[in-house]
Structure 1
Amino acid sequence: MEWIKGKILLMTMALTVIFGVGFTGEVLALSPEVEELKRMLRQVMEENRRLAERVSELERRLAAYERERSPVAETAATGAERPWYERVEVGLSVAGLVQGVVGVDREAANLHAHGGREPAGNIGPVITDEDKAYGAAAVDLELSAEFSERDRAYVLLEMGSGKNPDSEVPSFSGIVDEALSMVPVETEDGDVRVSEAWYEREWAFGSGRFRFRFGKIDITTEVDQNAYANDENGQFMSPVFVNNAAVEWASYSFGMVASYETERWALTLGYEDADSSWDNLFDYPFLVGQLAVSTEFLGRPGNYRFYVWYQGEKHLEWDELEDYFASGGARSPENDKAAWGFGLSFDQEVAEGVGVFLRYGWRGGDLAGYWNGDLTDLDFSYGFEQAASAGISVSGRLWGREGDELGLGVAWFGISDDYEDYWEAKGVYAARLGFDPHMHRHEARDEWHLEVYYRLKAAEHLALTPDLQYTWNPAGLRDDGFWVFTLRGVWEY
């Protein structure tokens, strides 16, 4: 309606200029034609005034109608809010991928899977082919509801089927995030898993807000976030670029999160059951505390997160493993140490459509991993003490493709001295070669990982992503490395 008012005003001004300027009073008084035009002008101005009044009245009525139809007005008028099911939002995504893994060192992969022992015959090898193709598909259904301005709930249902190459090809960085491949999962193929189901409430407090969430949660949605490396469906696929690889995250279990958030900073405290058993909930806790700061560096948005964590499950110390070998296997390790560490996650826009990210993690405790009483079952999940990843993300709008994105990331894993000594059979670890004639020594080196992807918006709800990965010295064992070629398709609605 503003344009109507403007048009009326413009017409009035134009007529005034045409008929009221440039003529002398005498000429206007003597000309019948001019007198007639002046009369017509007065009629037009009067009509314009009536039209303006009508427009103002219509605007008033429209504003009153919108107020009456608002949820707040409806609640005040009826004494009850709209039913919760009228405020439920549903999201559906279907992801599929095919992967080709090329150049895997079968000997190194099988030795790592058996703690340095060569599998006997055809019993126990995890992989028999240097080159292999894999496939997987996953379906996610999200349900969210707002019960009020302060109360909300969320449920994530996941279903998937396929093969994850990480189950056969060992590496610290990983190849495809579990949430995308849905393997391994706690269900059989085709079964539905309730990955998240939580309730949240918030309160205004001071200059910010306080949030509290509890239920079955994914703690990584609240800490270690990153604008350019946090989404396995739309960004990098390797787990090392989805979350900090140096943190032993809990996975989809009972937990609680408390967070205080302001415009510039946020403090988050979280707890999750580390072993996901739903009994003895507080015996093996995963605890994390994060401080996040949002900035405008050189006029560009950025987020800087710092956190510390504690993992209460039972781990094996390297010192205990040394004692085991020094005693000839007579002294069993206690296997009862907790894990802890710290990490950071930075993301910063550096130019229009260009952002960079950095993650770093360090963990203490001098741990080796999990021990099940058998040397060949030692998983060496703590073969590295620190890990870092960094990269760049470029929006396709720079070349006229608004929905496209290009990403490049590099990751590094610094192996521990004890891990290197174990595989190279130095010191007391030389005894392992005498324990079993099938034991081997292997040269150890830091692992490096490279990933580059291009996400192509093929349709309104469909994105296709060619992805290339290369891993040097996988699992910290010296090797030329292997390639992974992936095509990911994600349909979201």
Structure 2
Amino acid sequence: MALRQMIFLLTAALLAFCPVNCAEANDEPLKKEVEMLKQRILELESKVEAADKEKETLAAENAAESREGAEEVKPRLTEVKEEIQEKLGLEFHGRAVPFYQGSPSVEIEDEHIDSSSGAGISADLELTWKPGMDLFENGRFFMRAHVGEGRGADENLGDRLFANLNTIADDSDDETFRLLEAYYAHEFFGGKALFSIGKTEPLVFIDNNTFANDEITQFVGKPFVNNPVLDSEDEYGPIVAASITPLETLTFTALCASSTFPNASDEEQKSIWDDIFTTPLVAGELAWSPKFGGRQGNYRVYAWDALHEHSVSHGDSETAGWGVGISMDQQITDMVGLFSRLGYSNKDAYEVEWFWSVGANLKGILPCRENDELGIGLAGLKGSGEDPKDGTEFHMEAYYRIVLAEHFAISPDIQYVLNPLGNDDNDGVFAGMLRGEFSF
């Protein structure tokens, strides 16, 4: 552009210094010189334009090469994962969840409970192996190792409520790196039937919920992760489970799991590896998963029977612990999902007779934050003991999950418990948490 301006200035200067009152006889040579000069200017302009276009084309090519190079250069970890998966059929994922949770001191059952606050972390490494053999073509081996420490508000309050406040810390009793799950699952008849055997927990197979089932990314309070009464029977141990899907929207699941007799007296409890299927936990679930207006829903009805003798605080019991429950979730719009649970359990075996929870999941409610999620929930646990422990313990919880990157998110969370242990003379309990998520 600078060259073009200089040409125009030079032309203007030449014309300016040309005599304007030349004789008629000298006009013809002057016109020829002007025409020649104009032609020369046009040639120079054409060359300048060609040079500019060449520069633009070269710049575009360089930018395209840079983008292609960026796409080709993947993170080293991603390359390793893809190479291992391709060559060995092995997938691995990891996740670390640091948190800080605190709760002020309260009075419960005339006992002073000190302020319960502290940091903690939960970390998992998951491996899925799909052998490249015909016999295991439709099967997979799954393993999950876990380590964690810190209980947050549950340090002092976890055993003084019908339902605890920090499900993240359930498997973090010590700092030992433990193999929580190791099982094999095989599909039959094009995925219409599934058989699983190995070590895992019953809640892998029943009482699931799309919007209230994951303490890492959703609610952390027990009443919004699973049915708390059923959860009291949930343990990692030997299990056999099978499911069949006769219709696209209908699935039936049954399981039999070893038990330590967690709700029996201390003298009656055993190792989960002893007498594996003597007096086990048995359970079944029927799940209906229709779509209404293109929106997915899931409606589950389940029942369980823990066959060992139970012992509860409101009296000795020699009966098995059994219960029934419902877990429902329904996507209403692209932004709104609703969930609810309802459960009844044998009041002679458990401290809670009735349990219910309702809530909503709201996604992308803030402009330019389409991946963020807000969860709100309300739950009640009706005590089965005598007055004053026969009232309802109410739980309220809200969290906001802020997705900062594909593998990184943080979530502030608040909880409030009214009428702890179903007794309105007890102080209300408040707990706040800040939770992080790192995954690969």
Instruction: Please tell me the TM-score bracket, short chain as reference.
Output: 0.7 to 0.9
Amino acid at match of 1:315: H
Aligned counterpart, 1:348 = 330
- 2:302 counterpart of 1:313: no
Give the residue type in structure 1 aligned to 2:404.
Answer: A
Paired amino acid for 2:117: A
How far apart are the structure 1 equivalents of 2:351 and 2:169? 25
AA paired with 1:342?
V
Using the TM superposition, give the Cα deviation of residue 132 of structure 1 relative to its aligned residue in structure 2, in angstroms: 3.3
Q: How far did residue 316 of structure 1 move?
A: 3.0
SS in structure 2 opposite 1:171?
A: coil
Asked whether the equivalents of residues 94 and 138 of structure 1 are also in contact (C-alpha less than 8 Å), the reply is: yes
Match of 1:272 among 238, 257, 269: 257
Residue of structure 1 in register with 2:46 after alignment = none
Q: Do the aligned partners of 1:318 and 1:366 also contact (CA within 8 Å) in 2?
A: no
Picking from 362, 373, 394, the partner of 1:448 is 394
**Secondary structure in 2 matching 1:316:** coil
Shift of 1:448: 0.3
CA contact (8 A) 2:402 2:409 kept: yes
- Per-residue deviation, 1:336: 3.1
Q: Equivalent of 1:139, from 99, 123, 146? A: 123
Aligned pair partner of 2:318 in 316, 330, 336: 336
Tell me the TM-score normalized by structure 1.
0.65
Name the structure 2 match of 1:461. Answer: 407
Q: Separation in 2 of the partners of 1:456 and 1:348? A: 23
Q: 1:183 to 1:302 in 2, by over 3 A?
A: closer
Alignment match, 1:39: none
Change (3 A) 1:235 1:460: same
Quote the residue 2:280 is aligned against: 285
- C-alpha separation in 2, matches of 1:132 and 1:315: 30
Report Cα offsets for 1:189-242 as digits up to 9, x if no partner: 2x111110001111116xx61110000012211111100000000000011111
Once residues 83 and 241 of structure 1 are traced to their aligned partners in structure 2, the CA distance between those partners, rounded to angstroms, is 35
1:406 aligns with 2:353: no
Partner Cα distance (1:342, 1:403) in 2: 35
Shift of 1:173: 2.3
- The corresponding residue for 2:147 is 159
SS at match of 2:324: strand
Equivalent position of 2:416 in the other structure: 470
Conservation of the 8 A alpha-carbon contact between 2:414 and 2:431 = yes
Judged with a 3 Å threshold, the aligned counterparts in structure 2 of structure 1 residues 252 and 317 are, in CA distance, closer, same or farther, namely closer
User: Which one of the candidate residues 81, 96, 99 is aligned to 2:98?
Assistant: 96
String of CA shifts for 1:52-98, please: whole Å, max 9, x gaps: xxxxxxxxxxxxxxxxxxxxxxxxxxxxxx99962100000000110
Structure 1 pair 84–287 and aligned structure 2 pair: CA distance change class (3 A) = farther
Map 1:45-444 onto structure 2 (within 5 A): 86-105=88-107, 108-109=110-111, 127=113, 129=114, 131-147=115-131, 148-169=136-157, 170-177=160-167, 180-182=168-170, 185=173, 188-189=174-175, 191-204=176-189, 209-247=192-230, 248-261=232-245, 262-275=247-260, 277-316=272-311, 321=315, 333=316, 335-364=317-346, 366-367=348-349, 382-396=350-364, 399-416=367-384, 419-421=385-387, 424=388
Q: Which SS does the other structure have where 2:274 is aligned?
A: coil
How far apart are 1:474 and its partner, in Å?
1.2
Residue 165 of structure 1, CA deviation: 2.9
User: Which piece of structure 1 moves more, 299-308 or 243-252?
Assistant: 243-252
Distance in 2, matches of 1:217 and 1:407, equals: 28
Check whether the contact 2:223–2:357 (CA below 8 A) recurs between aligned residues: yes
Contact 2:347 2:353 (8 Å CA) reproduced: no
Matching of residue 486 in structure 1 with residue 433 in structure 2: yes
The CA deviation at 1:164 is 4.4
> 1:113-171 CA deviation, whole Å, 9 max, x = no partner?
xxxxxxxxxxxxxx4x2x33222101100000112431100000000111343342111
Mapped to 1, the partners of 2:342 and 2:201 lie a distance apart of 20
State the 1:401 CA deviation. Answer: 1.3
The secondary structure found in structure 1 opposite 2:326 is strand
Which residue type is aligned with residue 165 of structure 2?
I
Structure 2 Cα separation of the partners of residues 146 and 253 of structure 1: 22
For residues 105 and 312 of structure 2, what CA distance do their matches in structure 1 show? 33
The structure with the largest alpha-carbon Rg is 2
**Alpha carbon RMSD of aligned pairs, Å?**
2.3
- The answer to whether the 8 Å contact 2:227/2:341 transfers is yes
2: CA distance between counterparts of 1:109 and 1:89?
Answer: 50
> Could you tell me whether the CA contact under 8 Å between 2:284 and 2:302 is conserved in 1?
yes
Aligned length: 338
Q: 1:466 to 1:194 in 2, by over 3 A?
A: same
Q: Determine the C-alpha separation between the residues in 1 that align with 2:220 and 2:428.
A: 18
User: 1: CA distance between counterparts of 2:303 and 2:109?
Assistant: 37
Residues 149 and 399 of structure 1: CA distance in aligned 2, closer, same or farther (over 3 Å): farther
Moved more, 389-398 or 356-365: 389-398
Could you tell me whether the CA contact under 8 Å between 1:339 and 1:364 is conserved in 2? yes
- Matches of 2:340 and 2:186, distance apart in 1: 32
CA-CA distance at 1:351 after TM superposition: 1.3
Distance 1:182 1:318, change over 3 A: closer
- Asked if structure 2 preserves the Cα contact closer than 8 Å seen for 1:90 and 1:144, the reply is yes
Partner SS for 2:320: strand
Structure 2 gap ranges (5+) = 1-83, 261-270
Shift of 1:298: 3.7
Question: What CA distance in whole angstroms lies between the structure 1 residues aligned with 2:234 and 2:152?
Answer: 20
CA contact 1:159–1:182 (8 Å) conserved in 2? no
Structure 2 counterparts to residues 18-57 of structure 1, below 5 A: none
Once residues 183 and 364 of structure 1 are traced to their aligned partners in structure 2, the CA distance between those partners, rounded to angstroms, is 26
Q: 1:403: Cα distance to partner?
A: 2.0
Give 1:366 shift: 2.0
1:406–1:455 Cα contact (<8 Å) kept? yes
CA distance in 2, matches of 1:462, 1:154: 24
> Would you say the 8 A contact 1:163–1:183 is kept in 2?
no
Give distance in 1, aligned partners of 2:275 and 2:229. Answer: 26
Shift of 1:259: 0.5
8 A contact 1:246–1:386 mirrored in 2: no
